A and B are shown apart, each in its own frame.
Chain A
């Protein structure tokens, strides 16, 4: 909205001038810098999320193109469109692209765009992190695809099973490109999880307590927790396999005590929750679209929230149903079979809630609703074949056949793509300010819907007839060639549909008819935002009193566009968002966030160079890159606080709130909690790996290693008591205003950490020897190394905090950084004690 636009909601001419002045100031403070530099440095959530969405669709086209070649190859038995190796490469890259570079990031992009708008926030609490995530995603994706230029395309399947993916059977760099590229891109998912958890918990508009949160926001909250717990097992597995390939460790190699099934466990510990990580945001979209087009509140809001939370938990008990054929005892399979059926219950609750909403409402069949109907048909079919696959005997029968291909595409395209397109058309008028072409939109839907079903429905039959998946051809004797030809032809129809949709969306932005605001008459807060969407979303942070503020109190629209409400004034020309209580949604703090900066892209680029050095075995380059990387991150954290920031700010007449450095529920605190959840999941996965390797080992310790004698082990552990004490006494000294003492306690903690490392690691070497000898030594050194890295990071954090206290950034009132450092030390000592017990007590006990 221009500063000169007359606004008749402002009562007096004097107020209007002041309003125009404030609005112009908000525009200036929140604007991205001009030109290319402005684009590269932008951190605003609307800008960054649009990039996620556009890049996600670009990867969809690339991944789709690969599948077109695969379908051509399978159109008839014995074709030579792709040779077997190229086919394996395309299968691998298609799955990898769709899962890691399309499905997860694009839903993250939708969440990043919509969540702040739905909860009445101006931005996400860590804008630089959003931008950093995007660059990691882009560079990670490009890193993976650069394998085509080097002739080393990954070809062992998107699940990278060992031993096929180890250095013996895949000696070229393809697997390395996969492991490094995918892990690099996953940084985007995990940082966005931290950001979403923090944003949803503490930056909702005043009045938006938990029972008033839009269901899409609930879905994103549950999804973010699932990412925090679900992604680390894969990250760990990728790290283990990469260090096995690069440094000859032995986690998955049978001859040296390793176990290939460890990879499968870790992969599917991620892989099955991943399905729901993709589906739950889709379910959130369905809830939003259904209630709007049924023109009534959702039926069973509490039940839908219950279903989202229950699915989030239950989805972690399903992973072994991907491993029914590996030889696990029947009773264990039955546990997973039962859980796999159980998860149908919360999903069913949601389906019935949506149907009941449509039943009780007055449905309006516009394009988003068409996609919702498509979703119902396709997803329910996929869900039902999922229940079939949960039966162990049936699963064995169709294992590794095209029946599974049909099932997973029904679930993923039904659960993700149909809701995604529904959401795309639903929020397009908000993002573009224009309406898409109704005829082209409907044509796109029918092409996708008919093409999809004709392509994948026959695969149920071809699979049951015995047609294997991941193989470049099939026997004519199976008699499935005509069905395959149909699948191929229909696949092209679907591809035309997807391209039509993307052209329609692009044309909408360029040529679409300028629409009215809130064309669907929706009730949630994002539709209160004017179009084009201002970079600050709301001129005043709204105060709400119901689940559907626009339906129950339309006055809220005008209130959010005036500048006489909460944070209508941009203090000190800083970007500010409002922090509120986790449950209650009461105003608690003012959060000052970053403006545009080069730091995210530079940090991501430095990591890309570091990883390029690693994959080419130029380790000197990787080590060299650590210097600018640490420098960039230090600069990043140094600029998070402001020595001159006021302790309190008046956010509205009579309402003064603390800034985040002195607030209890500060975003930095919740970022730490989110990070430690992720790190704790990583650590738990590593401990699981240790015990899994022990479970099937005839002796433990193995490979000639011994257990460290108890006395030196205890002596090595003792120095960790110093940081533990310091983590209590340091903050206490700070709170009492004794800054010098607080600095001394940081130094004591650092000394304790250094002593621990210098005592523990040499003694461990003497007892265990080189990590390459046996899987025992590999996993012991990885555990010890994991903890050692934490100690080093904690020492850096301690040194940083001491410097900040010295320089006046941290004091008795602005104590956030000291609290974060103390909590990180306690966590480090905690995992240290567990690691110590696993390494030095458990082998004695067994």
Chain B
């Protein structure tokens, strides 16, 4: 009964993943005959491609910033909105809204907001006199990556809030009541009750967010296409450019393999640290 699933999955997901390994040992432009080059592509990636190193570093920085901020914000807002008041329910609905938009829409909307001349952000900053803060959000190499990170956080925080709410609502109210009786402050309650009991949820949020950041092709493509000067390029956009811009399919496959390894390693590390247990009761 599981056969159709296994069949499609193997053919269109596992088999291609493995083909990546095969292609990564070749040099191929898609038109002429492919050349077998062994591990040359990997060696080159590791030693002679500074741009790729920069891009990997970009991706790490991006993921780091997004994971930390998105987790913190969603936890914080979930705590704020824990009670089922009308206002809270309205706000939860509102905050969740960005999640349903397509990433292309989000990217294009934020490109407009970030426009240095008439975009809403800079126009407002200039209107209140903060000209110095009216930066070139997307066209300055120092900020482009972080500007996209902000858009990403805006995009998905609502989703994580809901996940946290589900987790927080399972914490028995008696624990808090008892703590109140004992005279514990809010902060102490958070540190000793909320945080530890929400740890499994945190693990899920962190894992989910991390995967999202390695997949953020759409946002980058819609907002900066990796520029300026590759300052906002991620591994996945580099793969795309290598294959469909520079016609180096073998090299791009090698980069894909690197991406898989990186993601697997990070996932493994997270599971170890946060002790996530998929699929067991």
A and B held together in a complex: no
